[in-house]
Amino acid sequence: MPSTTPLPRLTMGLIEWTLLITLGVLWGTSFVLSKVALRELPPFSLVFVRLALTSLLLLTWLRVSGAFSGLALGQPRRVWVGFLGMGVLNILLPYSFTAWGQIQLTSGLASIITASAPLFSVVFAHFLTRDERMTVRKLAGVCLGICGVAFIIGFDALRGAHADVLAQGSLICAAIVLAMASIYGRRLAAVQPAVSATGQSLCAALVTLPLVLAFDRPWALAMPGALTWTMVVALAVFGTAFAYLIYFRLLASSGSTNLMLVTLLIPVSALLLGAATLGEHIDARQLVGMALVGLGLAVIDGRPLAWLHSRVGRARSVT
């Protein structure tokens, strides 16, 4: 998820917009790939294999790019503690919550709920940081986003048991821990981004392994088919490793505020791909909820409102 570490607000050129759209498609596609892989792999097993392959790919990238020395075991203990914390908060928990929730929910709906993470990040940043204080505009955006999430989940949950409430709650937990990770990750600001991503993936994979052995008992599972392995490899290569490299490129060139716009693109691509490839149904309630979440993020960001205000001002001056 985009870090809340203050970065310069830089412009978005054609290359940056192309990368941003590509990142949104990659992460949106990940929800569809996971949905298919979960037909034969339990959640923890899917997370572990995905992370193991991602770690191998990123280690190879560091070796090729000459940055491997930055991951030396001689790193200060606090850095490895940071890797472990981010591996749990930013990878293990959200991946696991998302995978478990997707067993019952469509990939599009899962992506919409998870996209609410920046809304929680605004609230956490107000209480846990000194330079990301809550404003009236941000509060309005958070309220709109929360209404959108509630609309997506549906009011049946308020009247008692609902078949999907636990799954939807799992995805809300994924959004919350991602928001917490965006605050916690500020302590790794001085570490080279690609090194940080590799360290997080390695730590998350190591922590996930005992969970796989304890809960999934892989020796008792049937061997997944070729389609499942294809989905897992695609998840690791495109949805995680390649996506991380694009993410860090955008973070350096465009800043975290611009990068946060990707959260508006992920549900759109996931919904469309899920409908096109898996035959998933998109209902009006989900579209309205997604629109409210997107509007909330736009209000928090502030720039769409500023652009609209400037356009109205110009129109009035002309008349």
Which tokens go with 311? 């356009």
Taking residues 164-189, what's their average pLDDT? 83
pLDDT tens for each residue of 67-108: 566 666 456 788 889 889 989 998 899 888 998 888 888 777
Contact between 236 and 91 (Cβ < 8 Å): no
Which has more confidence, 232 or 192? 232
Q: Give the Å distances, CA to CA, from 106 to 39, 277, 298.
A: 13, 12, 25
CA of 100: how far to CAs of 88, 97, 105, 107, 210, in Å?
Answer: 16, 5, 9, 12, 17
Quick one: DSSP state of residue 10?
Answer: -
Q: Tens digits of per-residue pLDDT, 120-158?
A: 877 787 787 776 677 788 778 778 877 877 777 665 544
Residue 4 has pLDDT above 70, yes or no: no
Q: How far does Cα 71 stand from its chain's mean position?
A: 24
Note the pLDDT tens digit of each residue in 260-319: 667 767 777 777 788 778 777 777 887 887 788 778 777 877 777 777 777 777 777 776
What pTM was estimated for this model as a whole? 0.76
- Cβ–Cβ under 8 Å, residues 58 and 164: no
The pair of structure tokens assigned to 304 is 């769409």
DSSP SS3 for 210: helix
| Measured distance CA(290)–CA(287) in Å, rounded | 5
Number of neighbours of residue 25 by Cβ within 10 angstroms: 20
Q: What is the DSSP letter of 158?
A: G
pLDDT digits (tens, 9 = 90+) for 202-237: 999 999 999 999 999 998 889 999 999 999 999 999
Residue 6: which pLDDT band, with cuts at 50, 70 and 90?
very low
